[in-house]
Amino acid sequence: MPASKFIAAHRLKALVLPLLILALWLLVSARVWVNPLLLPSPRQVLTTSWELLHTRDYWEGLGISLARTLTGFFIATALGAVIGIGLGASRWANRIVGPSFHAFRQIAPFAWIPLISAWFGGGDITKVAFITVAALPAVIFTTIDGVQNLQPEHKELARSLEISRWRYITQVVTPSALPDIFTGLQLALVVAWLATVGAEYFLQIGPGVTFYLHEGRSLARMDMVIFGIANVGVFGFLLTWLLTRVERRLLRWRPTQATAAGV
């Protein structure tokens, strides 16, 4: 089967760079070219990881971090979709509110931290609020685009079939905007995950997957830091992968979806 062979070969190519880096890393630590305190050996990192993976704290922290990310992400999705559809569907609303939102978008999410922590304290609400604020613009703006990309023919169809305003929004506008909304959700999910890491790192340190970044740094345990970084990468990747699965399922009706998405 040449097709599957091609895909297999294609996938293996993606591993070339990580394997090269691993080889280089092994070489560097075997020859002790860099102080092991700054760059521990792969074996050291594996051992530490193995130990940490067997602690209750790790899994609890991971659960808490993922819960924060998803809570912020879902709030941003719901708010963003409603605001985006409202602004996209109503030219008036977009004229009045649109410019303010574009200004809002220019504010770096971290700039909100002092304000949000002053309002909500240093606890979980602050973290989730920060994650939501960070993820929100991506959802809003792609949703507006999606709504405005609605084909005039479909608008006319709804008119000639006397479709009610509610069904028009839920069954014509929203599904038609869905591919664009998902583009925003992909971005928002990445941002939410990174914002989780940022919030955990900069706001009051507590349980969470970033704990190891902070702890490793203060104990000068770079193996722990690398474990923390790996966690950020792996779970960021997994979240994106999961969302892609959901997207593909919901957008089955699109003819190009299966061929375009690859993976």
Partner 1 sequence: MSTAILEPPSTAADIQAVGIHKRFKGNDGDVVALQNVDIHVKPGEFLSIIGGSGCGKSTLLRIVAGLEKADAGTVAVGDAPVLKPTKDRGIMFQDHRLLPWLTVERNVAFGLGHLPRKEALERANEAIRLVGLTGFEKAHPHQLSGGMAQRAALARVLVNKPKVLLLDEPFGALDALTKIQMQEELLRIWEAERSTVILVTHDIDEAVFLGDRVAIMTARPGTIRHFVDVQLPRPRDRSSADFVRVRKRIYGDFFSVSEAEREYEI
In terms of residues, how long is the chain?
A: 263
Of 4 and 160, nearer to partner 1 (C-beta) is: 160
The yes or no reply on residue 173 touching partner 1 (CB under 8 A) is no
Among 35, 106, 160, 259, which residue sits at the site for partner 1 (rule: CB under 8 A)? 160
The yes or no reply on residue 95 touching partner 1 (CB under 8 A) is no
The yes or no reply on residue 260 touching partner 1 (CB under 8 A) is no
Please identify, among the stretches 2-10, 46-54, 61-69, 156-164, the one whose residues bind partner 1 according to the rule CB under 8 A.
156-164
| CB count in 10 Å sphere of residue 155 | 14
Of 33 and 253, nearer to partner 1 (C-beta) is: 253
Supply the minimum distance, in Å, between the C-beta of residue 150 and partner 1: 11
Q: Are 29 and 47 in contact (CB under 8 A)?
A: no
The yes or no reply on residue 249 touching partner 1 (CB under 8 A) is no
Please identify, among the stretches 18-26, 50-58, 151-159, 195-203, the one whose residues bind partner 1 according to the rule CB under 8 A.
151-159
φ/ψ (deg, to 5) at 205: -75, 130
Number of residues that bind partner 1 (CB under 8 A): 20
What is the token pair recorded at 211?
């704990």
Of 126 and 174, nearer to partner 1 (C-beta) is: 174
The yes or no reply on residue 259 touching partner 1 (CB under 8 A) is no
Among 51, 57, 60, 156, which residue sits at the site for partner 1 (rule: CB under 8 A)? 156
Cα–Cα distance, 237 to 174 (Å, whole number) = 27
Supply the minimum distance, in Å, between the C-beta of residue 259 and partner 1: 12
The yes or no reply on residue 153 touching partner 1 (CB under 8 A) is yes
Beta strands of the chain (E only): which ranges? none
Cα–Cα distance, 220 to 226 (Å, whole number) = 11
Among 116, 178, 188, 224, which residue sits at the site for partner 1 (rule: CB under 8 A)? 178
Burial category of 196 from C-beta neighbours within 10 Å (exposed 0-12, middle 13-18, buried 19 and up): buried
Distance linking the first and last C-alpha atoms of the chain: 18
The yes or no reply on residue 167 touching partner 1 (CB under 8 A) is yes
User: CB under 8 Å to 220, separation ≥6 — which residues?
Assistant: 37
φ/ψ (deg, to 5) at 3: -65, -45
Of 147, 142, 68, the residue nearest 105 (C-alpha) = 142
The single-letter DSSP state of residue 254 is -
Among 52, 70, 172, 226, which residue sits at the site for partner 1 (rule: CB under 8 A)? 172
Please identify, among the stretches 30-38, 206-214, 229-237, 246-254, the one whose residues bind partner 1 according to the rule CB under 8 A.
246-254
Supply the minimum distance, in Å, between the C-beta of residue 81 and partner 1: 16
> Rounded to the nearest 5 degrees, what angle is found at the Cα of 209, between the Cα atoms of 184 and 36?
115
Q: Which residues bind partner 1 (CB under 8 A)?
A: 153-154, 156-157, 159-164, 167, 171-172, 175-176, 178, 252-255
